[in-house]
């Protein structure tokens, strides 16, 4: 008897069967994309390259390459959703759209100089052949296996004498039994092999669509070069903000308190009642100055973040929001202080934006760390609001991207009209300490 909650052999068998059927179902649209779209784009790309000799290719090539990249990016996204494979974008940045023949020529030359363009071309051909076969096999194995049982169920009468099922010549009931046995073998193969076949399809795509190590290093150097300037500018702006807050807030109150205490000294002997009023005012001023200083320090580095870490700080941040925020934290320990600070303030900015603009009823926050890809801190914020958020709509998202970019982190936003909106942040890092 299976224990409650234990996987058990029966449940494991059902899981393998479901995975095989899911791989076959996902292979069907991949077949269309591979043999139909990839092959068509390969032919069009080659023709556009030939038309360069006639000059017409300088007009068609940018649009054709753009279509290829959209198609490749779609396969990268499917690799992440269906196979859990992270395939990064390897393309070099391009200038704005072409204007006139000079713009078309310059843009075409830049596209052809990009090694990723030629790797995309090689992927189109391999996807149309090997990728198509790997997508076809999961569904074909199941269909062929079921055919053997259909023959046994009575179809063998209609095709007896002139039909081959694999290496079995269908003529008698015994042949139908052999076909059913062969079909059972095909179904068993599909049950175990289908998930690996689909994974092989995406492994093939990643081999050609992922950036090479040299390209990754080049992109990282360029990104670090940009974020270094952003970090310097952000630090300078932060220092100016602190100086302004101290000058306009706590410093002004301390000066007022000093003047009040000077007046108390002059009135203490002649007008004790008025002196007491000034002392009370000075005490209130000192309390306000202390509150402003605490708020300023909390804005630099919240005490709960320093003392208890990112998980508890996120919980405390959620409690201060004006709508229900559900936080799910699964972290192995503490992280470097700059990483925790960047993650905390980025989360604070995203939650504030959701409360202000999303028109949501509930927000969910998921914070966890994985050891894959050298260690990655992932934070996902989802709300059930109206959606339609735009990265270019304001400076908040850009500021978060600059903050994360200092640590080679990335941000992804998904917000279709009508919702939900999901913001995902990833920061490469490893924990300093691990909980027992």
Nearest one of 354, 294, 344 to 317, comparing CA atoms: 344
Query: 424 by DSSP, 3-state: which?
Result: strand
On the CB side of 12, how many CA atoms lie within 13 Å of its CA? 6
Give residue 298's pLDDT: 56
**pLDDT category, 197, cuts 50, 70, 90?**
very high
Tell me: pLDDT of 267 over 80.
no
| Domain end call among 149, 178, 209 | 209
Whether 239 and 375 share a structural domain: no
Distance between CA atoms of residues 112 and 102, nearest Å: 15
pLDDT at 233 over 60: no
The burial of 424, by beta-carbon neighbours within 10 Å (0-12 exposed, 13-18 middle, 19 or more buried), is given as: middle
* One domain for residues 325 and 412: yes
248 and 392 housed in the same domain: no
Single out the residue of 212, 191, 75 nearest to residue 131, CA to CA. 75
Q: What pLDDT sits at residue 129?
A: 94
DSSP state of 151: I
**Confidence class for position 104, pLDDT limits 50, 70, 90:** confident
Establish if 436 belongs to a structural domain.
no
User: What is the predicted pLDDT for the residue at 339?
Assistant: 86
Highest mean pLDDT among 156-165, 181-190, 206-215, 354-363: 181-190
pLDDT at 108: 86
The span from the CA of 365 to the CA of 382, in Å, is 7
For residues 422 and 332, membership in a common domain is answered with yes
Beta carbons within 10 angstroms of residue 100's beta carbon: 8
What is the mean pLDDT of the segment spanning 390-397?
A: 60
Query: 109-113, 317-321, 426-430: which has the minimum mean pLDDT?
Result: 317-321
| Boundary-marking domain end, from 270, 300, 330 | 300
The pLDDT of residue 346 is 86
Torsion-angle region of residue 422: left (phi > 0), alpha (psi -120 to 50) or beta?
beta
* Sign of the dihedral defined by the CA atoms of residues 126, 127, 128, 134, in that order: positive
On whether residue 433 sits in a domain, the answer given is no
- With 90 as the cut, is the pLDDT of residue 277 above it? no
252 with 152, same domain: the answer is no
> How far is Cα 159 from Cα 34, in angstroms, rounded to an integer?
34
| DSSP-assigned letter for residue 160 | T
Where is pLDDT greater, at 103 or 4? 103
Look up the domain containing 375 and give its range.
308-428
What pLDDT does residue 31 have?
Answer: 93
**Model confidence band, residue 105 (pLDDT cutoffs 50, 70, 90):** confident
Distances (CA, A) of 112 to 61, 95, 231, 354: 9, 14, 34, 42
pLDDT in the model for residue 236? 57
Residues shown for the chain: 436
Provide the mean pLDDT of the chain. Answer: 79
What is the percentage of the chain residues whose pLDDT exceeds 90? 23
Over range 167-180, report the average pLDDT.
86
Domain shared by 126 and 42, yes or no: yes
Is 168 inside any structural domain? yes
Q: Give Cα separations from 354 to 76, 188, 311, 400 (angstroms).
A: 29, 49, 20, 14
Q: Residue 342: pLDDT above 50?
A: yes
Q: Is the pTM value of this prediction over 0.75? A: no
- Residue 341 near residue 301 (C-beta atoms within 8 A): yes
Q: How far apart are CA 163 and CA 170, in angstroms?
A: 6
Top pLDDT among 284 and 245 is at 284
Q: Are residues 66 and 118 in the same domain?
A: yes
Residue 1 lies in a domain: no
Q: Greater confidence, 400 or 225?
A: 400
- What integer pLDDT is reported at residue 140 of this predicted model? 92
Contacts of 176 (CB under 8 A, 6+ apart): 151, 152, 156, 170
11-15, 184-188, 277-281, 331-335 — which one is most confidently predicted on average?
184-188
Q: Is the peptide bond before 366 cis (omega within 30 degrees of 0)?
A: no
163 plus 47 within the same structural domain: yes
Beta partners for residue 365, in sequence order: 327, 381
User: End of a domain among 156, 174, 209?
Assistant: 209
pLDDT number for residue 244: 61
Report the alpha-carbon distance of residue 189 to residue 206 in Å, rounded: 25
């Amino acid at each position: 008897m299976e224990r409650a909650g234990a996987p058990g052999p029966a449940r494991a068998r059902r899981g393998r069967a479901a995975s095989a059927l899911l791989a076959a179902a996902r292979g069907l649209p991949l077949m269309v994309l591979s043999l139909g779209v990839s092959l068509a784009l390969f032919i069009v790309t080659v023709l556009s390259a030939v038309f360069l000799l006639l000059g017409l290719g300088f007009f068609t090539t940018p649009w054709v390459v753009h279509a290829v990249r959209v198609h490749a990016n779609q396969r990268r996204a499917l690799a992440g959703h269906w196979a859990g494979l992270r395939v990064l974008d390897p393309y070099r940045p391009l200038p704005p759209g072409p204007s006139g023949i000079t713009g078309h020529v310059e843009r075409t030359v830049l596209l052809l100089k990009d090694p990723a363009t030629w790797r995309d071309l090689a992927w189109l051909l391999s996807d149309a052949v090997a990728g198509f076969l790997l997508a076809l096999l999961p569904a074909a194995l199941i269909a062929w296996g079921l055919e053997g049982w259909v023959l046994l169920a009575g179809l063998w009468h209609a095709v007896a004498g002139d039909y081959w099922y694999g290496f079995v010549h269908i003529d008698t009931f015994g042949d139908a039994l052999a076909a059913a046995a062969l079909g059972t073998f095909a179904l068993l193969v599909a049950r175990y092999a289908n998930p690996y076949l689909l994974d092989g399809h995406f492994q093939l795509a990643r081999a050609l669509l992922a950036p090479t190590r040299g390209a990754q290093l080049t992109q990282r150097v360029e990104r670090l070069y940009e974020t270094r300037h952003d970090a310097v500018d952000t630090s300078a702006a932060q220092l100016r903000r602190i100086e302004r807050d101290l000058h306009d807030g706590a410093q002004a109150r301390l000066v007022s308190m000093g003047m009040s205490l000077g007046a108390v000294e002059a009135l203490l002997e002649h007008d004790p009642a008025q002196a007491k009023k000034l002392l009370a005012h000075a005490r209130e001023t000192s309390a306000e100055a202390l509150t402003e200083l605490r708020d300023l320090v909390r804005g630099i580095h919240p005490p709960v973040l320093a003392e208890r870490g990112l998980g508890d700080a996120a919980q405390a941040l959620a409690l201060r929001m004006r709508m229900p925020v559900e936080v799910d934290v699964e972290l192995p320990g503490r992280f470097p202080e700059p990483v925790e600070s960047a993650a905390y303030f980025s989360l604070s900015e995203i939650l504030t934006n959701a409360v202000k603009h999303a028109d949501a009823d509930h927000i969910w926050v998921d914070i966890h760390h994985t050891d894959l890809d050298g260690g990655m801190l992932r934070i996902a914020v989802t709300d059930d609001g109206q959606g339609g958020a735009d990265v270019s709509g304001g400076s908040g998202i850009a500021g978060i991207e600059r903050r994360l970019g200092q640590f080679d982190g990335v941000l992804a936003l998904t917000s279709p009209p009508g919702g939900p909106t999901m913001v995902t942040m990833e920061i490469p890092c490893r924990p300093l300490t691990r909980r027992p």
